Amino acid sequence: MNIKTVKNDPKNIKADILVIGGFSNLPNFGAEATGIDKLFGGMLMLEAESANFIGGAGEFISVGTVGKIPAKRVILLGLGDFKALSTEVLRRAFGSVFKNLKGKKFSTLAISSHGISKNISSYECVKAIAEGTALASYDFNKYKKEKEGRKKEKTENFKEIFLIAKDALTSKQIKKGITEAEISCAATFYARDLVNEPASICVPVHLVAHAREIAKASKGKIKVKIFNREECKKRGMDAFLAVAAGAGEEPYFIHLSYKPKAISSKLKKIALVGKGITFDSGGLQTKPGESMATMKLDMAGAAAVLGVFSKIVEISPRAEVHGIIAATENMPGSHAYKPGDIVRASNGKTIEIGHTDAEGRVTLADSLSYATKLKPDVIIDLATLTGACMVALGEEVTGLMSNNKKLAEKIKESAESSGEKLWELPLINEYRHLIKGTHADVRNSGASRYGGAITAGLFLEEFVGKVPWAHLDIAGPAWAERETISYVPLGGTGYGVRLLIDFLKKI
Residues that bind Zn ion (CB under 5 A): 277, 280, 298, 357, 359-360
Residue 71's binding partner among Zn ion, ligand BES, none (Cβ under 5 to 8 angstroms by kind) is: none
Task: Decide whether 272 or 358 has the Cβ nearer to ligand BES.
Answer: 358
Task: Decide whether 349 or 355 has the Cβ nearer to ligand BES.
Answer: 355
Q: What torsion do the CA atoms of 296, 391, 353, 229 make, to the nearest 10 degrees?
A: 30
Give the integer Cα–Cα distance in Å for 370 and 364: 9
Task: Decide whether 165 or 237 has the Cβ nearer to Zn ion.
Answer: 237
Query: In Å, how far from its chain's centre is CA 96?
Result: 18
Distance set, CA 232 to CA 226, 235, 246, 371 (Å): 10, 5, 16, 14
Distance set, CA 140 to CA 144, 192, 196, 491, 493 (Å): 9, 8, 7, 9, 11
Residue 418's binding partner among ligand BES, Zn ion, none (Cβ under 5 to 8 angstroms by kind) is: none
Residue 20's binding partner among ligand BES, Zn ion, none (Cβ under 5 to 8 angstroms by kind) is: none
**What is the smallest separation between the CB atom of 449 and ligand BES, expressed in angstroms?**
8
Is there a catalytic annotation at residue 443?
no
Give the integer Cα–Cα distance in Å for 240 and 345: 8
Residue 386's binding partner among ligand BES, Zn ion, none (Cβ under 5 to 8 angstroms by kind) is: ligand BES
Residue 48's binding partner among ligand BES, Zn ion, none (Cβ under 5 to 8 angstroms by kind) is: none
DSSP 356: T
Give the integer Cα–Cα distance in Å for 273 and 379: 7
Identify whether the C-beta of residue 127 lies closer than 8 Å to the C-beta of residue 180: yes
Give the integer Cα–Cα distance in Å for 398 and 212: 29
* Pairing mode, strands 73-78 and 60-64: antiparallel
Is there a catalytic annotation at residue 287?
yes
**What is the smallest separation between the CB atom of 409 and Zn ion, expressed in angstroms?**
29
In the set 73, 150, 212, 287, the catalytic residue is 287
| Element of type H or E holding 456 | helix 452-461
Cβ-based neighbour number of residue 98 at 10 Å = 23
Task: Decide whether 341 or 377 has the Cβ nearer to ligand BES.
Answer: 341
Task: Decide whether 328 or 369 has the Cβ nearer to Zn ion.
Answer: 328
Give the integer Cα–Cα distance in Å for 146 and 150: 7
Identify whether the C-beta of residue 127 lies closer than 8 Å to the C-beta of residue 87: yes
**What is the smallest separation between the CB atom of 360 and Zn ion, expressed in angstroms?**
4
Task: Decide whether 116 or 199 has the Cβ nearer to Zn ion.
Answer: 199
Residue 355's binding partner among ligand BES, Zn ion, none (Cβ under 5 to 8 angstroms by kind) is: ligand BES
**What is the smallest separation between the CB atom of 303 and Zn ion, expressed in angstroms?**
14
- At 89, which amino acid appears? V
φ/ψ of 95, rounded to 5, equals -60, -40
φ/ψ of 38, rounded to 5, equals -60, -45
Task: Decide whether 137 or 285 has the Cβ nearer to ligand BES.
Answer: 285
**What is the smallest separation between the CB atom of 180 and ligand BES, expressed in angstroms?**
30
| Element of type H or E holding 92 | helix 87-101
**What is the smallest separation between the CB atom of 356 and ligand BES, expressed in angstroms?**
8
Beta strands of 65-159 (E only): which ranges? 73-78, 108-112
Identify whether the C-beta of residue 38 lies closer than 8 Å to the C-beta of residue 196: no
Q: Which residue is nearest to ligand BES (CB)?
A: 387
Give the integer Cα–Cα distance in Å for 8 and 162: 10
In the set 91, 99, 192, 361, the catalytic residue is 361
- Residues forming contacts to ligand BES in the complex (CB under 6 A) are 280, 298, 355, 357-360, 384-388, 445, 452, 475
**What is the smallest separation between the CB atom of 446 and ligand BES, expressed in angstroms?**
6
Active site residues: 287, 361
